[in-house]
Amino acid sequence: MNPLELTLGIMTSVGGFVDISELVFAARAGSTFAFALIWVFVLGTIGIIVFGEMSGRVAATAKQPVFNLMRHRLGLKLGLVTLAASLISNLITCAAEIGGVSLVLNYLVGWPYMLNAVLMVIAMIATIWVLPFKWIERIYGLLGLFMIVFAAALVAMHPPWGKIAGGLVPQIPPGLSTKELLTFAYFAVAILSAVLFPYEVYFYSSGGIEEEWGRKDLLTNRLTCIVGFGLGSLLAISILANSAIQFGPANVDPAIPGTAALQAAIPFGKWGLILALLGMFFAVAGAAVETCLSNAYCVSQFFGWAWGRHKKPWEAPRFTIAWITMFVLALAIILTGVDPMQLVEFAVLFSILVLPLTYLPLLLLAGDKSYMREQVNGPIAKSLGWLFFAIITVAAVAALPLFFLTSGGQA
Amino acid sequence: MKRLLLPVLLLAGCGGGAQQDLPSIGEARSLAAEWAMINDLAARGRINATYAHAMRAQLREQLKSAAATLSQPDSRYGEEIQTLLTEPDEAPPEELRTHSEKLKQIEDSLESA
């Protein structure tokens, strides 16, 4: 285990943890329900640590990426359904991220939103084309560390730490009306979905194969997931807590992503604002790249095409066409003029429906001794895996009714 | 007394569609408060002009779309949102906060009705 590699891997995970959906839902959850939804972020983070570690272990041991397994484990028909659902979910998420990053660029330099979307897609295509996998991941992840300004802002605001700690305990705030209860439940489901986005596992496990992980990398995998995702989650919780302190009392339910950046401007002024915007810019751009590549990974792995950024673009032509097409389709969605915040809602909603189908084959394979040998799921990983599978299944069943009953959390 | 009267007056003036408009009223209330916060920080030199300009433009667009979705645009809240939209970009934060508070009162009354 190389300590430098490990540190960089962890820092990349921290900087790349927050995406546009987490940003939006953390800010809205804090302003609406103060600290009462912090525990959902903690729950989701434990879930993504469990499944992330599992997917990395499978990649390192069985040398199998997630979508390769799906076809074998779910069969062709159900596999195709999962593939189609994942492609749609990732495409909507990618469009939401491109919309988000274009808005942030608008706040930073003032260029028009649509022009930003086109420029960003060109820039991201160029980045993927030119850079090797490790550097694609690291550049966005490490620069996303500017998001730490949100945690610093929280400390500078002298928050009620006791109340924040109280938010770690699973709870439903007392005295809520039926409407408010439904909205609370909708936010809980949306946060779980945003933290457990399926693309994260597709990208992470495919990355393991790209980087040719073996058994020697198992500890790095475990530490990266636990420490990286754990610290990354603290950034999301900081955004929620800042929102509870700064926005809730001011009657602000942050409706646009730019409002979140004010959390750093209030204690630190212009420099805080710029750091927050830069952090948001790189974190969201990184998520756009990851969602786009995830779709190319999914489709290539499912159909057995040559894939990977360790190959030159022309050595894996169908994979290359897949990720470029993904960017073009996501851009086309943005250019229709659809509200990026609506895309965030749809991304979260669609993703939670796909989650059980994503995690079931992974859970089955990680528990299969014939593939995993001594790296098979132990009792803790097995229990946590099935527990989270049950949680996301319940969340998936509840997601659509809650969305309609609460008008997307606005009721 | 005012608190007791407000829901009654609102119900009389608004009718059933007002409940349907609650999400838009809440959105407009929040947008007004966000706008006030931006102008407050801008006046104190704590945010830069590019960001303030972009945010105000976006908030105004969102307000317009919230107003366009109202089933009762001639209601008291509809008029309040229209008045809000006539405010200049750099309107005093207190004035914007007053709009937000008025919309919050209407929202609370409709929710408790």
Q: With an 8 Å Cβ cutoff, is A251 touching chain B?
A: yes
Closest CA to A18 of A274, A287, A247, A258: A287
Is A114 near chain B, with CB under 8 Å? no
- Of the two residues A329 and A1, the one the predictor is more confident about is A329
**In the predicted model, what is the mean pLDDT of residues A214-225?**
93
Q: Do A103 and B58 touch (CB under 8 A)?
A: yes
Domain for residue B92, yes or no?
A: yes
B50/A109 touch (CB, cutoff 8 Å), yes or no: yes
d(CA A235, CA A26): 10
Query: Is 80 exceeded by the pLDDT of residue A69?
Result: no
Q: Is residue B38 part of a domain?
A: yes
Q: How far is A383 from chain B (nearest CA, A)?
A: 41
- Asked if the Cβ–Cβ distance from A255 to B45 is below 8 Å, we say no
Q: How far apart are the first and last CA of chain A?
A: 50
Q: What is the mean pLDDT of residues A50-57?
A: 94
> Token match 């490490």: residue?
A142
Tell me if residue A80 falls in helix, strand or coil: helix
Domain ranges of chain A: 3-405
Tell me which residue has tokens 């909603």.
Answer: A349
How far is the C-alpha of A146 from the C-alpha of A281, rounded, in Å?
Answer: 9
**Average model confidence (pLDDT) for chain A?**
93
Q: What is the pLDDT of residues A221-236, one digit of tens each?
A: 999 999 999 999 999 9
Cβ pair B54:A407 closer than 8 A: no
Tell me whether residues A255 and B55 touch, CB distance under 8 A.
no
pLDDT digits (tens, 9 = 90+) for A91-122: 999 999 999 999 999 999 999 999 999 999 99
Q: What is the band of A284 on the pLDDT scale with cuts at 50, 70, 90? A: very high
Name which CATH class applies to A3-405. Answer: mainly alpha
How confident is residue A1, by pLDDT bands cut at 50, 70 and 90?
low
**B45 to chain A, minimum CA–CA distance in Å?**
8
pLDDT surpassing 60 at residue B6: no
* Residue A327 confidence (pLDDT) above 80: yes
User: Distance between CA A385 and CA A245 in Å, rounded?
Assistant: 35
Answer whether residue B14 is part of any domain.
Answer: no
Q: Do B34 and A277 lie within an 8 Å CB cutoff?
A: no
Q: Write out chain B residues lying below 8 Å of A176, CB-based.
A: none
**pLDDT band, very low/low/confident/very high, at A12 (cuts 50, 70, 90):** confident
- For B36-78, write each residue's pLDDT tens digit: 999 999 999 999 999 999 999 999 999 999 999 999 999 999 9
| pLDDT bucket at A344, cuts 50 / 70 / 90 | very high
How much is the average pLDDT of A366-391? 94
Residue B11, pLDDT above cutoff 70? no
Which residue among B29, B37, B48 places its CB closest to the CB of A273?
B48
Sequence-distant (6+) residues with CB within 8 A of A181 are A172
Domain-located, residue B19: no
Query: Could you read off the pLDDT of A161-208 as tens digits, one per residue?
Result: 999 999 999 999 999 999 899 999 999 999 999 999 989 888 999 999
In which domain, by residue range, is B98 found?
A: 2-8+24-112
ipTM of model: 0.90
pLDDT the model gives residue A26 = 97
| Confidence bin at A411 (pLDDT 50/70/90) | low
What pLDDT score does A255 carry? Answer: 78
Number of domains in chain B: 1
**Number of Cβ pairs closer than 8 Å across A and B?**
80
Task: Mark yes or no for CB contact B30/A253 under 8 Å.
Answer: yes
Q: What one-character DSSP code corresponds to residue A311?
A: S
pLDDT at residue A400 tops 50: yes
* pLDDT at residue number B1: 40
What pTM did the predictor assign? 0.93
Average pLDDT, chain B: 88
Residue whose token pair is 């912090």: A38
Who among A179, A252, A258 is closest to B58 (CB)?
A258
Q: Is residue B15 part of a domain?
A: no
